[in-house]
Structure 1
Amino acid sequence: MIRHHHHLLLAASALLTPVATAAQNPAPVVRAPAGPVAGTLDGDIRVFRGIPYAQAPIGSLRWKPPVPAPAWTSVRAATDFGPACIQPTPKAPNVYTPPAPLPTNEDCLSLNVWTPKHATKAPVFVWIHGGSLVAGSSREVTYDGRELAKRGIVVVSINYRLGALGWMAHPALSQESGQHVSGNYGLLDQIAALQWVRRNIAGFGGDARNVTIAGESAGALSVMFLMEAPTARGLFNKAVAESAYMISLPELRRAAYGMPSGEAMGQMLQAGLKAPDLAGLRAMSAQELTDRAAKLGFFPIGTVDGQILPAQMTTTFDEGKQAAVPILTGFNQGEIRSLRVLAAKAPTSAAAYEQAIRGRYGDLADAFLRLYPAADYQESILEAPRDALYGWTAERLARKQQALGQRAYLYLFDHGYPAMDATDLHAFHASELPYVFGTVKAAGPNWPAIPDTPAEHALSSAMVDYWASFARNGVPTSRNAPAWPAFGKDRAYLHITDTPRVRTALMPGMFELNETVMCRRRADGTQAWNWNVGLSAPTLPAKTAGCD
């Protein structure tokens, strides 16, 4: 697997040699340990795209830990983004559909760098894209790093393996592994990218000892994986988790929490694909395998293997064994408005809703109905999974990092504008991203159009400031917005509406209810904790010692 060679990781600052490709368009060249790369200049920001950080995971390297890319000596063009990793062929468009189909390839392990022209030992912000570990890419226009780079930050965005190619466990793969584990290849890619950053980022003006990992949705899930993974320890100093979800994970060799083992799921996928063996799986076209796996319902997720991911995330964070780093974390008011697949089908009446909740939640039904009342059950059906997945996780991360003596900053993104609210998508999942990256003018064709107004740009400017300053020194500040206090004993958070405002005690009772539900399910051992909430919940286990 991947090992850390700390005595080799920090290279001396590389030479920066501007080479003119045309009199009016000097191409910046960086000579880093990986090899020289020529990028583009966008004002005072140097941009390098499509730099390989690992060999192509194809052929015999499919379902293997990433192998570092060999160094090169000739100047390599880094002007175009690399292809996205293989993902299911798009179907009907939705709010997240990019302007054009993403170019994809199994040879996809590349990264991009935005860096100020004269950066020296600048903070580094490594972005991990979302997409349910199924889709997405570092090339998406929303993730353009220029505005953060204008604040003096070196921004890195990465690709990592997706779907069955990135997350399938299987007994034959475990057998051929030196550590006797399988799955988590996409996570190993992320670790390899961070190791590349440690070795090379000084050449781009970055400080390899001041690295923030950041992501949204599946990217934030990945941030939590990295905080847990022993092999990622020391590769980052701060974490940003936007709309993270601390769900239960399959275990490598045993069925648990209502799920088959990870290896069993791999065997079921093999049977569904009608592949005779591992060689047959490796011989399949990457796109065909991915499309068929999606149709068969394969759900990519991290696997608890005892090594890369030693335990369930909840257990690791309860025991304080995660990375002791400051965290900035939060979620969106309308998460489920664009993810209605996670919302239960509405019943015919408020009475039917209440009856179903009481049958599922037993002694916790009153607490559940106070938060998610029958009187407004249409909204309750959206809010319950929002909180069980994203709200509870955000507050849990803040509490657990604070317990380690680390600063934690919590937010609720609750911003809407006319086009968004008119389509019932107020503060939907990922809607904070154009504000975080300062790309409010570049949202996709199906994204509700963000008004080109001073107020929208001011809000985005404040959020870019907060995220950039957190990457700089672990304290989010903005020139024209309120001071953001740490979570602390007052449970402080930043309520981001049309402007940011400081509040305390986010959604009283929300964390406690979901914590108790998770605790009982974990103790029982037969129920998962994820989107099986409210009307989708199984009958809750009875009161449990240590949970109530």
Structure 2
Amino acid sequence: MRALLCIVAASLLSTSVAIAETISGPEVTTASGKLHGVKEDGLAVFRGIPYALPPVGERRWQPPAPQTAWEGARDAIDFGPACLQPEPRSASIYAEKYPAMSEDCLTLNVWAPEDARNAPVFVWIHGGALTSGSSRVPMYDGAALAQSGLVVVSINYRLGMLGYFAHAALSAESPEGVSGNYGLLDQIAALQWVQRNISAFGGNPENVTIAGESAGALSVMYLMVAPAARELFHRAIAQSAYMVTAPALKEKVYGQPPMEEVGSWLMDKLGAKANDMAALRAMDAAELINASSKTGYFPFVAVDGKVVPRQLVESFDRGEQAPVPMIAGFNSGEIRSLRFLLPPAPADAKAYEASIRKGYGELADTFLQHYPATNMEESMLAATRDAMYGWTAERLVARQSALDVPAYLYYFDHSYTSADDSGLHGFHAMEIPYIFGTAERTPPRWPKVPEDEVNSSMSAAMLGYWSSFARSGVPRAEKHPEWPPFAAGESYMHFAETARADKHLLPGVFELHEKVVCLRRAGGEIAWNWNVGVIAPPLPGEVKDCP
């Protein structure tokens, strides 16, 4: 019903006329007022559009409030500030320097063909572990996708302590008795803004695809199960998603403390008085972000029974997720650029095998078959990758297929010399510039993508598949092979030197990790994704109880 009202509102409050051309540039009229953008390469581009009121002062740690109307025309030429986050590690290949960061950061950006009429809409949700990132990252520039006929939207959302802080005092303020998940609520508010306003840019509010990578893909999954997001989108793309154990808001689950308890712990670490939210809201936001990051606090979505009804695995098992067509996949070298996810290596092959036998019991022989001791480093990289990203991707497409909607699996194994020489073959997020057509706009320490036919062809293929999927729900790319749905014999698209369709990705690997998750879920005391390989605790229960 909420989505229906949004669509009705869009028809009443937004103009269905194409973007107007004025002396000062393209202009649109939204529900909140007029916006002046810029004309770039045949596109009308609008940046830094506020979709909610600034979450500052008393609105800190509150659900986003709809943006109020403004007088006259507002310039939408420059990106808004990135949401507050710790300074990036300079050695990271993902590190970006932003000209501005602020608590007042709930903005989005739109790239639209000047002649767009009822065009499909592609909404990008950036990654960054719910701690960092921004819609202004040059690699996320939406121009190439928009030139393929899409209206492209990229969004900011609250991060870290400002986006995912839960506490009993905050829950008491809420009519629903919950707290945390503010960053996820921001994403929902952005999608509601799309429903109200995107027709003014030539977009179709009834043809919206949400897409994201890493924490953006995690967000896509939570949007798929969030009741408030239902019917706000019609297709989903999850690149390197991770369906990991989530903490609950008020109770201990799977060995994780409740997020309200974590919030009390964090307040103590910050030297704040218990339950004194007024004092905490009065503290400088940048100081809060930096201080909280130094405590070891890890922001995450909380299962609160309202915004997030239950664990992702349970929601997808019950078929409660949005029944929308989906693309999901992962990269061959996910962990090569995320080595902090690896446990310490055992002293030798004998110690490695002993650890696996202790942790995996009856499944140890199967585990060692896929991840042998003969090459511990590669086995540890692959095991962590498969337990988090590979298992999640295949689970997503299998569960969507079970709802009788098309779902498409991919495996990104493409690379090039500078990445391989750095030990980063197929690394985490490596596919992004191919999809956006932004190989020349990667972060400073990113291995530079060669300007050659192989990489140009790969970008044309991936951009083509993604934009086709946003248009029709079927990924197609001119001069590239047909991408069959997963339901057609466990099919997938293999992006290596070229794109080719194949079947049965990594046979037996998904089944192994699904059994591990099944046993840990049944036991109820162990998180199912963070204890992989040599640090796995002994499996609870009987293997025969899990298919």
TM-score class normalised by the smaller sequence: over 0.9
How far has the Cα of 1:545 moved from its partner?
6.6
Conserved 8 A contact 1:517-1:540:
yes
How far has the Cα of 1:14 moved from its partner?
4.3
Which runs of structure 2 are paired with 1:251-266 in the superposition (5 Å)?
Answer: 251-266=248-263
Matched, 1:466 2:465: yes
Which runs of structure 2 are paired with 1:19-38 in the superposition (5 Å)?
Answer: 19-21=22-24, 27-38=25-36
Q: Tell me the TM-score normalised to structure 1 length.
A: 0.97
- Name the stretch that deviates more: 372-381 or 394-403: 372-381
Matched, 1:185 2:186: no
Give the 3-state SS of the residue equivalent to 1:68 in structure 2: coil
Question: For residue 24 of structure 1, what is the aligned residue in structure 2?
Answer: none
Question: For residue 86 of structure 2, what is the aligned residue in structure 1?
Answer: 88
How far has the Cα of 1:92 moved from its partner?
3.2
Measured against aligned partners, the alpha-carbon deviations of 1:160-207 in whole angstroms (never above 9, x if no partner) come to 000011001100000000100011000000000000000000000000
Gaps of 5+ in 2: none
State the AA in 2 paired with 1:8. Answer: A
Give the 3-state SS of the residue equivalent to 1:5 in structure 2: helix
Give the 3-state SS of the residue equivalent to 1:127 in structure 2: strand
- Aligned mates of 1:475, 1:489 — CA distance in 2: 14
Conserved 8 A contact 1:440-1:450:
yes
Conserved 8 A contact 2:413-2:494:
yes
Matched, 1:486 2:489: no
State the AA in 2 paired with 1:200. Answer: N
Question: For residue 534 of structure 1, what is the aligned residue in structure 2?
Answer: 533
- Aligned mates of 2:171, 2:529 — CA distance in 1: 27
- Aligned mates of 1:80, 1:356 — CA distance in 2: 53
Which runs of structure 2 are paired with 1:495-506 in the superposition (5 Å)?
Answer: 495-506=494-505
Question: For residue 144 of structure 1, what is the aligned residue in structure 2?
Answer: 141
Measured against aligned partners, the alpha-carbon deviations of 1:509-537 in whole angstroms (never above 9, x if no partner) come to 11111111111111111101223100121
How far has the Cα of 1:102 moved from its partner?
4.7
How far has the Cα of 1:89 moved from its partner?
2.3
Question: For residue 5 of structure 1, what is the aligned residue in structure 2?
Answer: 5
2:129 aligns with one of 109, 129, 132: 132
Which runs of structure 2 are paired with 1:386-535 in the superposition (5 Å)?
Answer: 386-535=385-534
Matched, 1:225 2:226: no
- Aligned mates of 2:408, 2:43 — CA distance in 1: 29
2:110 aligns with one of 99, 113, 120: 113
Question: For residue 314 of structure 1, what is the aligned residue in structure 2?
Answer: 313
Which runs of structure 2 are paired with 1:273-312 in the superposition (5 Å)?
Answer: 273-276=270-273, 277-312=276-311
How far has the Cα of 1:333 moved from its partner?
0.1
- Aligned mates of 1:300, 1:306 — CA distance in 2: 18
- Aligned mates of 1:195, 1:93 — CA distance in 2: 37
- Aligned mates of 2:465, 2:138 — CA distance in 1: 21
- Aligned mates of 1:93, 1:29 — CA distance in 2: 41
Conserved 8 A contact 2:435-2:462:
yes
Rate the CA distance shift 1:17–1:101 in 2: closer, same or farther, 3 A.
Answer: closer
1:46 aligns with one of 44, 49, 65: 44
Rate the CA distance shift 1:68–1:152 in 2: closer, same or farther, 3 A.
Answer: same
Conserved 8 A contact 2:167-2:263:
yes
How far has the Cα of 1:292 moved from its partner?
1.0
Give the 3-state SS of the residue equivalent to 1:528 in structure 2: coil
Give the 3-state SS of the residue equivalent to 1:539 in structure 2: coil
Give the 3-state SS of the residue equivalent to 2:102 in structure 1: coil
Give the 3-state SS of the residue equivalent to 2:408 in structure 1: strand
State the AA in 2 paired with 1:78. Answer: A
How far has the Cα of 1:295 moved from its partner?
0.7
How far has the Cα of 1:93 moved from its partner?
2.7
- Name the stretch that deviates more: 277-286 or 469-478: 277-286
Gaps of 5+ in 1: 22-26
How far has the Cα of 1:5 moved from its partner?
3.2
Matched, 1:156 2:159: no
Matched, 1:65 2:66: no
How far has the Cα of 1:546 moved from its partner?
4.4
Conserved 8 A contact 2:416-2:450:
yes
- Aligned mates of 1:227, 1:102 — CA distance in 2: 33
- Aligned mates of 1:536, 1:3 — CA distance in 2: 45
State the AA in 2 paired with 1:302. Answer: V
Conserved 8 A contact 2:484-2:492:
yes
Rate the CA distance shift 1:215–1:30 in 2: closer, same or farther, 3 A.
Answer: same
Measured against aligned partners, the alpha-carbon deviations of 1:12-46 in whole angstroms (never above 9, x if no partner) come to 4146321123xxxxx11111222111111112111
Measured against aligned partners, the alpha-carbon deviations of 1:429-456 in whole angstroms (never above 9, x if no partner) come to 0000000100011111100011011221
Conserved 8 A contact 1:212-1:471:
yes
- Aligned mates of 1:30, 1:454 — CA distance in 2: 39
- Aligned mates of 1:286, 1:14 — CA distance in 2: 41
How far has the Cα of 1:494 moved from its partner?
0.4
Conserved 8 A contact 1:4-1:231:
no
Give the 3-state SS of the residue equivalent to 1:359 in structure 2: helix
State the AA in 2 paired with 1:294. Answer: S
Conserved 8 A contact 1:245-1:390:
yes
Measured against aligned partners, the alpha-carbon deviations of 1:351-397 in whole angstroms (never above 9, x if no partner) come to 11111100111111011111111111110110111011100000000
- Name the stretch that deviates more: 371-380 or 193-202: 371-380
- Aligned mates of 2:436, 2:517 — CA distance in 1: 33
